[in-house]
Amino acid sequence: MRTQVVIVGGGPSGLLLGQLLHKAGIETVVLERKSRAYVLGRIRAGVLERGLVGLMREAGVDARMTAEGYVHDGTLIAYDGDMFRVDFTKHTDATVLVYGQTEVTRDLYAARDDIGAKTHFEVENVVIEDADSDHPFVAFREGGVDQRIDCDFVAGCDGFHGVSRKTIPADVRREYEKVYPFGWLGILSETPPVNDELIYANSDRGFALCSMRNANLSRYYIQCDASDNADNWSDEAFWTELRKRIPASVADSLVTGPSIEKSIAPLRSFVTEPMRWGRLFLCGDAAHIVPPTGAKGLNTAASDVHYLYQGLRQFYAEGDAAGLDAYSAQALARVWKTERFSWWFSNLMHHAPGQSDFDKKMQLAELAFLRDSPEAQASFALNYVGLPY
Ligand code: APR
Ligand code: PHB
């Protein structure tokens, strides 16, 4: 087999890149380790920056998100019994769209079906070969048969646990990591959201977040021990703890119900440099991870996809490799800024084990500054709606 770009990983990064490249007349093949059903069974965050919404529109895959997504022009931050709102449109010309990432992935798969592009599911033993040559190829096993795809380029969109990052030699890679000493216990419930905007809460019992997917599908999180297990939490225990972490006025209107999903996510900041090695380009979680506090996971993958799409389009249309040569530095410049915001917001809103009284005072002072300062809120808003590409 031969194609122009092999995309390793059929998550949102790989699918969005494939859709954009198709619009530019560039052929792709996607190799996905899991089944489509498994990929679409993943529950992920649900806040889309303006940049990602724009890319979905550019890819022609924005119809459902426009019809079903919720435009949010602000968010609420609760602390110390108080709650204030950051108005995005007061400080930026942008809003965010609340639309589940699972739905983004579903829409992208449907769009890939419509263009008849090739996706290999449940592949095994993917190996990226000769990435540092002009003739890379990808070997893999499908249905017990060894296969090979020769290509011009490989896009490593296979997430944190994929093979792409590790294809870059260890003596070439530089990795940066911070593992947070707590996790997020999240539930999905078929109940009306407690508020029409998100509520991020820093309580003296720990962090909580009230989010949603639609008018009858709510998503809630509470900070838990990094070693905790979702099985340790009955629904009732979760609801009781959540009520204690949000303002009483909000807790009084909370509608509870059985969880239809309950899981714990670890919190990690991670970046690998460079994001390119020869004809291999890393995109999304394959290159970087953020704690979910700022909802930046898919949104940072989106800017990678934008830069790589533009570089590949320029190469094939004009024979100019300048965009590809600039990719790693350009992508990393924005990655590090979103890593910083996610790290800052995580430290502001969580209570780390053993946190000193002084550190708690610093959090309260920063939250009071954010509440009272238009300039601080402008900085928050600009980061939350998404830094420019
Ligand atoms: N071969 C083929 N596919 C692989 C391999 C492999 N060796 N390893 C992993 N994969 C697949 C996974 O099964 C997954 O479907 O790559 C895909 C990677 O998808 P994500 O982990 O979702 O990463 P990405 O597409 O970069 O998405 C970035 O979006 O999913 C949200 O918030 C999430 O931060 C994440 C963001
Ligand atoms: C979610 O709805 O899952 C969500 C929203 C905002 C975040 C994180 C997760 O910051």
CATH number at residue 368: 3.30.9.10
Ramachandran quadrant class, 234 (left: phi over 0; alpha: psi -120 to 50; beta: rest): beta
Q: Whose CA is nearest to atom 6 of ligand 2?
A: 295
pLDDT at res. 190: 97
Q: In the annotation, is 72 catalytic? A: yes
Q: Are residues 237 and 287 in the same domain?
A: no
Instruction: Write a three-state SS string for 73-133.
Output: CEEEEEECCEEEEEEHHHHCCCCEEECCHHHHHHHHHHHHHHHCCEEECCCEEEEEECCCC
pLDDT band at 248 (very low <50, low <70, confident <90, very high): very high
The pTM assigned to this predicted structure is: 0.97
Domain hosting 22: range is 5-72+95-177+268-347
Q: Whose CA is nearest to atom 14 of ligand 1?
A: 11
Q: What is the pLDDT of residues 31-40, one digit of tens each?
A: 999 999 999 9
Q: Are residues 186 and 234 in the same domain?
A: yes
pLDDT above 90 (res 43): no
Q: Are residues 258 and 326 in the same domain?
A: no
> Is residue 64 in some structural domain?
yes
Region 95-99: what's the mean pLDDT?
Answer: 97
> Is residue 79 in some structural domain?
no
> Is residue 298 in some structural domain?
yes
> Is residue 78 in some structural domain?
no
Q: How many domains does the chain have?
A: 2
The span from the CA of 256 to the CA of 180, in Å, is 29
Instruction: Write a three-state SS string for 165-227.
Output: HHHCCCCCCEEEEEEEEEEEEEEEECCCCCCCCCEEEEECCEEEEEEEEECCEEEEEEEEECC
pLDDT above 90 (res 45): no
Q: Are residues 130 and 237 in the same domain?
A: no
pLDDT at res. 262: 96
Give the closest ligand to the alpha carbon of residue 302: 1
Which of 200, 220, 309, 316 is flagged as catalytic? 200
Mean pLDDT of the chain: 97
Q: Whose CA is nearest to atom 19 of ligand 1?
A: 11
Q: Whose CA is nearest to atom 21 of ligand 1?
A: 159
pLDDT at res. 383: 98
Q: What percent of the chain has pLDDT over 70?
A: 100
Q: In the annotation, is 99 catalytic? A: no
Q: Are residues 44 and 117 in the same domain?
A: yes
> Is residue 294 in some structural domain?
yes
Q: Are residues 10 and 64 in the same domain?
A: yes
Distance of CA 230 from the midpoint of ligand 2 (Å): 18
- Per-residue DSSP letter, 256: P
> Is residue 77 in some structural domain?
no
> Is residue 162 in some structural domain?
yes
Phi, psi of 119 (to 5 degrees): -130, 125
pLDDT band at 82 (very low <50, low <70, confident <90, very high): confident
Q: Are residues 263 and 273 in the same domain?
A: no
Phi, psi of 330 (to 5 degrees): -65, -45
Q: What is the pLDDT of residues 269-328, one digit of tens each?
A: 999 999 999 999 999 999 999 999 999 999 999 999 999 999 999 999 999 999 999 999
pLDDT above 90 (res 181): yes
Q: Are residues 260 and 272 in the same domain?
A: no
Distance of CA 343 from the midpoint of ligand 1 (Å): 22
Q: In the annotation, is 337 catalytic? A: no
Q: In Å, how far are 29, 159, 177, 229, 346 from 182, measured between CA atoms?
A: 38, 22, 15, 12, 10
Q: What is the pLDDT of residues 337-378, one digit of tens each?
A: 999 999 999 999 999 999 999 999 999 999 999 999 999 999
Q: What is the pLDDT of residues 369-387, one digit of tens each?
A: 999 999 999 999 999 999 9
Among 43, 184, 209, which is best to mutate for testing ligand 2, by the most ligand atoms less than 8 A from CB?
A: 209
> Is residue 90 in some structural domain?
no
